[in-house]
Amino acid sequence: MKKWGFLICIILIGYIVTQSTAALQQKEELPIVMLDTDDKYMGYREATTQEMEQQIHKGSLVLVNSEHPIHPEGVRSDIVYVADEEDLLLGYGLLDHKLMLSREVAERFQEMVEAAGEEGVRYFLMSSGYRDFEKQDELYRQKGSDYALPAGYSEHNLGLSLDIGSSLAPMSEAPEGAWLEKNAWKYGFILRYPKDKVNVTGIQYEPWHFRYVGMPHSAVMHKNQMVLEEYLEMLREKRDVSVDLNGITYDIHYYDVSKKDTKIYLPENDAYDISGDNMQGVIVTVEKST
């Protein structure tokens, strides 16, 4: 009896160690969000609110919905006809040879489908990308509000969003859809309209619609199960957060530019990106190697 008890103890200890190791590995693959320290602005210079006001309505984090339409400056400047870019056509099918998209987003998409292909998931289709306001208006008039949004209120008017399909099955059932829900964040993409966030986004579940927001924002949203509306609200509340991800520390600072006395800081030496929220603020994301 003692022998059996001893064996059971050994098995339990092995199980606990295995589970603890797996949990640790999982934790290391995801970002940790925390408040920044008091010395957060060391090595920064002060910028003017006038300089930042020009950034409010453009960038990878701008919010576009029924309350926040796109401003002309929000449309990406690197829009291309994807079919004309031979280096962007590997690993997926293109349903429309007139399809347009931000070149940067198309590059990230191709990276992503190539990674999926290495795991045996390789039947992707790109079915829709950038639409200008005229095309969006035509679609809205033809299909109605149940299918399309008015011109200026659709993310497709930005050049940062695309509809992704599978040649095997609808995205809600296809391996491609399942792979993207699990892995798209690693390449800067988010599933923009999840099934459990309809009350937040105001848009029904769209398993095909992905939006590029870039790293580390896609990672934070994925880890915390946030949609863009919730993520921007979190940044407005916390103001300063730090994210450690894959050996890089990202310091993310939110500034309310609508307040004229807001002090805004930009790093002097580190790489950084600026995006507006399309409301009243800008987000400065600083990248630091660790």
- pLDDT at site 89: 93
CA distance 79 to 103: 6
Range of lowest pLDDT (40-54, 219-233, 274-288): 40-54
pTM: 0.85
- pLDDT at site 20: 35
Is the pLDDT at 274 greater than 90? The verdict is: yes
| pLDDT tens readout for residues 158-172 | 999 999 999 999 999
Proportion of the chain above pLDDT 90, given as a percent: 68
| Average pLDDT, rounded, for the chain | 86
CATH number for the domain spanning 89: value is 3.30.1380.10
Confidence class of residue 187 from pLDDT cuts 50, 70 and 90?
Answer: very high
Residue from 253, 194, 181 nearest 226 by CA: 194
| Residue 223 φ then ψ, to 5° | -60, -40
| pLDDT tens readout for residues 98-153 | 999 999 999 999 999 999 999 999 999 999 999 998 888 888 888 777 777 888 89
Same domain for 93 and 48: no
- pLDDT at site 40: 64
What is the extent of the structural domain holding 85? 69-212
Chosen domain end from 176, 191, 212: 212
- Residue 5 covered by a domain: no
Range of lowest pLDDT (5-9, 94-98, 152-156, 234-238): 5-9
Chosen domain end from 185, 212, 239: 212
- Residue 8 covered by a domain: no
Is the pLDDT at 15 greater than 70? The verdict is: no
Helix (H, G, I), strand (E, B) or coil at 219: helix
- DSSP secondary structure string, 16-45? HHHHHHHHHHHHHTS-EEEE--TTTTTTEE
CA distance 219 to 183: 10
Range of lowest pLDDT (29-38, 69-78, 88-97, 114-123): 29-38
Catalytic annotation, residues: 206
Question: How is residue 135 written in tokens?
Answer: 């095309």
| pLDDT tens readout for residues 22-63 | 333 343 444 445 544 455 677 888 887 777 888 999 999 999
Residues 208-235, mean pLDDT to the nearest whole number: 97
Domain count, the chain: 2
Chosen domain end from 212, 230, 250: 212
